[in-house]
Chain A
Amino acid sequence: MSEERVGVYVCHCGSNIAGTVAVEEVSQWAAGLPNVVVSRDYKFMCSSLGQELVEKDIKELGLTRVVVAACSPHMHERTFRATCERAGLNPFLFEMANIRELDSWATDDRVAATQKAKAMVSAAVRRVIHHQPLQLLPVTINPNTLIVGGGVAGITAALEIANAGYHVYLVEREPSIGGHMAQLDKTFPTLDCSACILTPKMVDVAQNKNITLLSWSEVEVVEGYIGNFTVTVRKRARYVNEEKCTGCGICIDKCPKKVVDEVFEAGLGYRKAIYRPFPQAVPKYPVIDTASCIFFQRGKCKACQMFCPTEAIDFEQQDQILKLEVGNIVLATGYDTFDPRRIPQYGYGRLANVFTSLEFERMVNAAGPTGGRIVLRDGVTTPKSVAIIHCVGSRDKNYNEHCSRVCCMYSLKFSHLLHERVPDAQVYEFYIDIRATAKRYEEFYHRVLEEGTRFIRGRVAEVTDAARLPGEEGKLIVQYEDTLVGKQRRLPVDMVILSVGMEARRDSREVAQIFGLGCEYNGFFIERHPKLDPVNTMTEGIQIAGACQGPMAIPEAVAQGAAAAARVLSLITQGTVMMEPVRAHIDAEKCSGCRICNNLCPYNAIVFHEDRKVSEVITALCQGCGACVAACPSAAIMGAHFTDEQVMAQIEGMLWDVQPQIAMTATGAE
């Protein structure tokens, strides 16, 4: 029998645990387990009084191991490790039994919950006896930071970090930074001009010496770990020499090829084959879209090259592969808008005068395709009646179950702009619920009500051009139930705007895989904790900011960008971080040199020494998954804090009440 002296502490967590688990019974029962010298239950173990209880026992009763049965280790493992450390006990000689999330909250069967709690406590006691004292591993933090995505969240994070004096690589997929915010006309509820408030920040990025801006570029590979990432970036060929280009734009004027701009103009306007998405683009250098360029497609033209005053056009340019060394990464990759072609009954794509909200943003923008004129698809007719349909692709289990949070407010903004630009137009908002929940939002709703917008409570069923009654001919007919009246109705209008929701980027899962993150069911990146750690991720050293985490408006995206920057700066200024010592180690004596483990390691952390015919784990590279430990046929690899003995003992403890007699005697003797 082991000499270890174990203390067991069972937490009530108010009634969170004690409401379902008979905690006193568990505690009294645990007192009788081998090696347990003290067992107590307490109202809140995480309180300072609860922790002092443990500290006192360690000192006075000479505890060598501690078990706390409370909540998830993801909540309070750190708390109790620190408690042990304060009392002079190595923090890894502690084990937590999660009898709250995994037990009391998951059932209302008191008997079964108590039995399960006993099993988990028994398992923890048996396991902790085999624990080894371990030391956290210090890791130095490279002070350079990678920020992926140059929308308002990424720009904010980049400027915060750069202004603090550290270097930032800002990678943007499009030719210019600015993101969705650069496409918008006014921002709700203040009606600031979106571009007017964003472009100064974009210029700051361009001029900041601490920021290396890599636009028209994408991250391909991420290797390493917190403090020491190596990132491979593909800087796509622009076919414009950035050293020579002055950004004069003559090439764009002279380019004979015009195509629909599906990205910046949301399909509502055109651009050239050599283009810059918008006049204030940062960087100012254009790119050639080879898929539409006449020279790249047919081998002749070169108009841009002929007219370029500085010989900056370079058709021979190649993609560049850059390797960046960074200590931290911020992902601010943004969102996509819902494609309403997926809801055929709203007619988008078939009915000319059905527009998306993004198209409408471009339309009302003075710099947009119509110069700010609100017109039908024919480009000339001013609509006399406009229906704005909320929740398109949102709050709908057939598409996205989530509420996109911004659509109510931007729809209200559209109403306001319509009243302003087309004073005699009748505007209708079709809504399920108006969600105006942030500062000055409700007031804005009231203002739009007073401006004369007609609000109709009912989710639109369909938009059609099939006239049924006189007065409907040549119009778009919106069919809906006015739920406050309880009647089905039809409303003929000239224009329909679909307030499309926000979705995760179409490639968010691939991006998550590159960076080793998790995605929600709907593709948004998962934060470390939805309330207390919203910009951190499960992967150390990688933060997320903005709408890649979930639908949000500009102020929240900015706040998240700044929060992520604060996280990064905190790590940079610390210089080193302490890492969990959960790492694999190969016992050279036992290693047979079979090399099975070599190829299993996803981090290439295992090297083989030809001379000695043994494998060795490079601790700095190992991430502690344990794949090699499980596969070693000679049991030569030890996974610290998850050793075979620890897990085996835990299994035995878990099954204390069902073990067959033989096994009982075999292990009970230890």
Chain B
Amino acid sequence: MTAYATTARAPTFLEEVIARTPGEPHLERCIQCGTCGGSCPSGADMEHTPRGLFALINAGLREQALCSNTPWYCVSCYYCTVRCPQQIHITDVMYTLKRMAIDEGYYTESTARDAPEFSKTFIDFVESNGRSFELGLATAYHLRYRPLNAVGMAPMALGMLRRGRMDLTPTKIKGIKQLQAILNKAKELGGVK
């Protein structure tokens, strides 16, 4: 979170991204070397490599950057982060861009528009039970957003059930009320940051 707040002018898009990322992500340091783009296991399928995305951010091309599928294709493997010669917290920046894309409604224009829905479905279960629930997640997500896929995934779900690797009902923690109070307070404090 660098100190753009101390300057009188409006923050640039780059400064906004930095400010919304915890700690010091150092995105301003990028020298466009491409180590991240070369390292990313899903990089070949991204619309922009991370480096390319950072160039868009630096150029202030907000819409292009936030519509990109790149952050949603990030698998959080941290290769880019540990290899970055400028020690930029690239994975954290990807999370920030996802949040910004949701907040500003851009994600619906992304080719990865299902990804946030998956995340949201996942979180719904965690928020109501305190634990994740694979069967519920799979059925809810696939039925809601990917009806065609749901058919294809059915054998696997059955396999999971048969091997005792999936529950039919969700587990709920005892302190679910406490957890919800905590999460609600956090939402209130942090807004949708």
Direct A–B touching in the complex (beta carbon < 8 Å)? yes
Docked CA distance A493–B51 (Å): 25
Q: Which of A113-121, A211-219, A480-488 contacts B (4 or more CB under 8 A)?
A: A480-488
Kindly identify which residue among B33, B37, B83, B87 contacts A488, using a CB–CB cutoff of 8 Å.
Answer: B37
Kindly state the separation between the CA atoms of A391 and B34 in the bound complex, as whole angstroms. 13
A391 to B85, CA, bound (A): 10
Q: Are B32 and A397 in contact (CB under 8 A)?
A: no
Which A-chain residue is minimally distant from B37 (CB atoms)? A481
Q: How far is the CA of A460 from the CA of B35 in the complex (A)?
A: 6
On whether the beta carbons of A488 and B40 are closer than 8 Å, the reply is: yes
Chain A hits for B33, CB < 8 A? 391, 395, 432, 458-459, 483
Question: Complex formed: what's the CA distance from A432 to B33 in Å?
Answer: 5
- B39-52 CB mask vs A (1 if < 8 Å, else 0) is 11001101011011
Is residue A479 within 8 Å, beta carbon to beta carbon, of the partner chain?
Answer: yes
Q: Is the CB of B83 within 8 A of A458?
A: no
> A398 near B: Cβ within 8 Å?
yes
- Tell whether A487 pairs with B87 under 8 Å between CB atoms, given A458-B34, A458-B37, A459-B34: no
Chain A hits for B82, CB < 8 A: 398
Chain B residues, Cβ within 8 Å of A482: 34
Smallest CB-CB separation from B85: which chain A residue? A396
With a cutoff of 8 Å between Cβ atoms, the chain B residues found around residue A398 in the complex are 82-83, 85, 87
Residues of the B chain whose Cβ atoms lie less than 8 Å from the Cβ of A459: 33-35, 38, 85
Question: When the two chains form their complex, are residues B49 and A487 in contact, meaning their CB atoms are under 8 A apart?
Answer: yes
A486 x B52 contact (CB < 8 A): yes
How many residues in A have their beta carbons less than 8 Å from beta carbons of B?
21
Shortest beta-carbon distance from A394 to chain B in Å: 9
B151 at the interface (CB under 8 A from A): no
Please, how many angstroms separate the alpha-carbon atoms of A460 and B46 in the complex? 18
B31 within 8 A of A: yes
Q: Which residues of A contact B34 (CB under 8 A)?
A: 432, 457-459, 461, 480-483
Q: Is B86 an interface residue (CB 8 A)?
A: yes
Interchain nearest-CB distance for B32 vs A (Å) = 6
Q: How far is the CB of A429 from chain B (nearest CB, A)?
A: 14
Q: In the docked arrangement, what's the CA distance between A158 and B131, Å? A: 75
User: Scoring B residues 58 to 89 as 1 if CB is less than 8 Å from chain A, else 0, what string do you get?
Assistant: 00000000000000000000010011011100
* A102 and B121 alpha carbons, distance in the complex (Å): 58
A246 within 8 Å of B (CB atoms): no
Instruction: Known contacts A481-B51, A487-B49; decide if A458 and B87 are in contact (CB<8 Å).
Output: no
Measured in the bound complex, the distance between the Cα atoms of B40 and A396 in whole Å is 18
Cβ B38 vs Cβ A481 within 8 A:
yes
Instruction: Say yes or no: is A345 at the interface (Cβ < 8 Å to chain B).
Output: yes
CA A488 to CA B50, docked complex, whole Å: 10
Q: How distant is A230 from chain B, measured CB to nearest CB, in Å?
A: 45
State whether A488 touches B85 (Cβ < 8 A).
no
B85 A458 Cβ-Cβ under 8 A: no
- Residues of B with C-beta under 8 A to A395: 31, 33, 85
When distances are taken between beta carbons in the complex, the residues of chain B under 8 Å from A396 are 85
Assess the B85–A479 pair: CB atoms within 8 A.
no
Q: Does A462 touch B at the CB level, under 8 Å? A: yes
Alpha-carbon distance A391/B52, docked complex (angstroms): 20
Interface residues of B in 12-33 (CB under 8 A from A): 31-33
A461 touches B35 (CB 8 A): yes
The reply to whether A483 and B87 contact each other, CB–CB distance below 8 Å, is no
Instruction: Tell me which residues across on chain A come within 8 A of B49, comparing CB atoms.
Output: 481, 483, 486-488
How far is the CB of B69 from the nearest CB of chain A, in Å? 14
Contacts of B79 in A (CB 8 A): 461
A residues with a Cβ closer than 8 A to B are 345, 391, 395-398, 432, 457-462, 479-483, 486-488
Question: 4 smallest A-B Cβ distances: which pairs?
Answer: A461-B38, A481-B37, A481-B34, A396-B85
Can you list 26 contacts pairing A with B, beta carbon distance less than 8 Å?
A: A395-B85, A396-B85, A397-B85, A398-B83, A398-B87, A432-B32, A458-B33, A458-B38, A459-B34, A459-B35, A460-B35, A461-B35, A461-B37, A461-B39, A461-B83, A462-B38, A479-B38, A479-B39, A481-B36, A481-B37, A481-B38, A481-B49, A483-B52, A487-B49, A488-B40, A488-B46
